[in-house]
Amino acid sequence: MLRVRTTSGNPEGAPERVVPAPEVTGGFREIGRYELVDPTGTVDAVVVDDEPLEPAPNARLGERAWRWLPGFYAGEVAAEARIGDRAVARFRLDVSPDPRKAGREVFDAMVDELWAEDPALVLGVEPATTRVGRLDAAQNPWIEFERLRRNAPAFLRALDEVVRRPRARLVAEREDRPAHRVRRVDRGTARTALRNPATLALLRPGLEAPTGAEPRFDVPRVTESLDSAANRALAALAAAALARTRSLLRVLERLALADDEESATRSALAKRWPERRRVLVGVERELTRRLRRQPFPSVRRHEVTSAGLVAVDADPAYARAWSCGWRALRRGIGGERNAERHWLSPTWEVYERWCFVRMARELRDEHAELAWTRSVPRDLHVNADAAWSGEANGRRLTILLQPRFPSLPSGCEAGPWSISKSRIPDIVVVDEADGRDLRFGVYDAKYRTARASLMDAMASAHIYRDSLRWAGQRVDGSVLLTPDVALAPELATTEYLDRHGCGGRPMLPDVATG
């Protein structure tokens, strides 16, 4: 349906048209410039990862076109062509890394290595997606949103089937009735009748009934009730889905509005939030409507019991509703990856985190005599996104991912600080001996492979070398990590690092050299 038009400066190899899902259209590249064209002029809008694209200013007569500028991300992107509010076609677009970087094979190898270490380091909020698992307890609100959006329609349809044919249970009760309304009696009825003078007089002619007393009988009655274990369990699941939806509306709106500033290296969440808010509001409305219909109003309490799960499993409609609801609410991203997909971090951030994982592994292998833990030592007085720390015989090595160096000591000169503004280097390695002698090195990861870009990136190495302090100590060395330092070989020499206090080091997955 849609054709692809490349604009000036775009790399070659772009596809001529996009094909409908489930087929994947490849050939797109990050930081590329494309126009998605509808030659028929019937499509009203094109949405990529919930963000409506801007119309292209140079659309030809009789057609409509939209500009798409992929940011710093690589992976699979979801897109839709819409007429009004209705999606008339869905697409899966594959975006490759910038060819000036290390290439798609290398990027995929970094993602796989990160996944094996810690899946949370892979995921982000960029439009590109990757396959995720469903084990462990890790979670974040965007994963919760995507799982809810993906599974809520099937859950709502399954609830409709339950509403049409709800499970009921038989409830045995007793009721006091006059004689002319008695249809069935049991031993209990006989026992109470013999203790009631008015009833006894009715049964035995000749006995005089008390004045004003009416003969009544305590009879059994069997009724149907929708307050069953299965309905209680399903009501608890639907209520949990509704609570999750309302929580996501609050949390994600706060995150999206806090990320409304334009950034050259990240995609703005604020532009995608209106569509995602519309989805959540619709799910909230539909769940509320179904919880107001029988059997759920008849349920006295929401609870999940073993009896309820057995009853749910015995009924295909209930089992289907439970399965869909569980998939919408389940936790976990680890384990073997499956068909479920989630958003990635930008390519440069994937490289930064991969460098941390690879360096941490090298340190652990090189210093196997240390007892390693995945934590930040409290006495370092530092906040970081991730860390590994090894200690033995009075020596401690710590590697930190994006530690914070606040501006000036802030009352704690024993920790990290900056003599200028606050800094957040990518990786810092701290070497301590006997708790007194402390040395630290800084590593800045730059996902670039052009000489001009490398030399420009050295500015950050200079800044970190001159501005960062830890317990009063200056940086021992500031190193630039890059996929191809061979374009500036002088940076990678020991002499250069010793002389200038900064330098470069190549960092690339093994697949690039194998």
Backbone angles phi, psi at 416, to 5 degrees: -80, 150
Contact (Cβ atoms closer than 8 angstroms) between residue 118 and residue 353: no
pTM of the model: 0.66
How confident is residue 458, by pLDDT bands cut at 50, 70 and 90? confident
Residue of 122 and 514 predicted with greater confidence: 122
Neighbouring residues of 154: CB distance < 8 A, sequence distance ≥ 6:
324
CB 96 within 8 A of CB 82: no
Please give the pLDDT value at position 513.
43
- Other C-beta atoms within 10 Å of 192: how many? 16
460/466 Cα distance (integer angstroms): 10
The answer to whether position 192 is within a domain reads: no
- Joined tokens for residue 361: 């592994």
Residues facing residue 344 across a β-bridge? 123
- Residue 116: its pLDDT value, please? 80
pLDDT at 133 over 60: no
Phi-psi region of 437 (alpha: psi -120 to 50; beta: other; left: phi over 0): beta
Question: Is the pLDDT assigned to residue 497 strictly greater than 90?
Answer: no
- Reported as a single tens digit per residue, the pLDDT across 182-241 is 777 777 767 777 667 667 666 666 666 566 666 777 777 766 788 999 999 999 999 999
Domain extent at residue 409: 347-512
Average pLDDT for residues 333-348, to the nearest whole number?
A: 62
Omega before 22 cis (within 30°)? yes
- Residues 427, 285 share a domain: no
352 and 400 in a single domain? The answer is: yes
Is residue 474 one of the residues assigned to a domain? yes
In a domain, 269, yes or no: yes
H-helix segments, 418-493: 451-467
If asked whether residues 371 and 475 sit together in one domain, one would say: yes
Please check whether residues 286 and 356 belong to one and the same domain.
no
Task: Output the pLDDT for position 242.
Answer: 96
Strand ranges inside 179-300, DSSP E: 216-225
Q: Are strands 24-29 and 86-96 parallel, antiparallel or unpaired?
A: parallel
Q: Using 50, 70 and 90 to split pLDDT, how confident is the model at 261?
A: low
Both tokens assigned to 455: 């030399």
Assign 3-state DSSP to the chain and report helix, strand, coil percentages, each to 5.
Answer: 35, 25, 35
Distance between CA atoms of residues 27 and 13, nearest Å: 6
Residues 404, 497 share a domain:
yes
CATH number at 73 reads 2.60.40
> Token pair for residue 407?
């501006």
Is 182 inside a domain boundary? no
Provide the strand spans (E) within 311-393: 341-343, 371-373, 386-392
33 and 98 Cβ atoms separated by less than 8 Å: no
> DSSP characters for 150-202?
HHHHHHHHHHHHHHHS---EEEEEEEEEEGGG-----HHHHHHHHT-HHHHHH
C-beta neighbour count of 478 within 10 angstroms: 25
The answer to whether position 460 is within a domain reads yes
Do 324 and 376 share a domain, yes or no?
no
pLDDT tens digits for 356-394? 999 999 999 999 999 999 989 888 889 998 999 999 988
103 in a domain, yes or no? no
- Classify residue 67 by burial, with Cβ atoms within 10 Å: 0-12, 13-18, 19+: middle
Of 344, 339, 336, 292, the closest CA to residue 125 belongs to: 344
In a domain, 339, yes or no: no
Residue 338 has pLDDT above 60, yes or no: no
Same domain as 357, residue 239 = no
State whether 351 and 323 are in the same domain.
no
- 161: which 2 tokens? 């089937």
How many domains, in total, are found in the chain?
3
Instruction: Name the strand (E) or helix (H) holding 15.
Output: none
* Claim to verify: residue 280 and residue 372 sit in the same structural domain: no
| Nearest Cα to Cα of residue 132 among 386, 348, 343, 353 | 343
- Looking at 295, 330, 365, the residue that finishes a domain is 330
Query: Residue 116 carries which side chain, given as an amino acid letter?
Result: A
Q: What is the per-residue pLDDT for 169?
A: 76
Domain boundary, last residue among 40, 64, 96: 96
pLDDT of residue 131: 57
At 293 the pLDDT is 94
Cα distances (Å, whole numbers) of residue 190 to 203, 210, 220, 281, 488? 11, 19, 11, 59, 103
**Boundary residue ending a domain (272, 303, 330):** 330
63 and 147 in a single domain? The answer is no
Taking only Cα atoms into account, the Rg of the chain, rounded to an integer number of angstroms, comes to 33
Q: Are 325 and 367 members of one domain? A: no
Note the pLDDT of residue 512.
45
Please report, rounded to a whole number, the percentage of residues in the chain having pLDDT higher than 70: 79
**Judging by DSSP bridges, how do beta strands 129-131 and 54-55 pair with one another?**
unpaired
User: Any idea which of 18-22, 198-202, 260-264, 349-353 has the lowest mean pLDDT?
Assistant: 260-264
Residue from 337, 387, 379 nearest 357 by CA: 387
Helix/strand/coil for 373: strand
The candidate with the shortest Cα–Cα distance to 510, out of 53, 43, 112, is: 112
Examine the domain organization and report whether 84 and 162 are in the same domain: no
pLDDT tens digit string along 38-60?
Answer: 988 889 999 988 888 999 887 77
Domain assignment of residue 134, yes or no: no
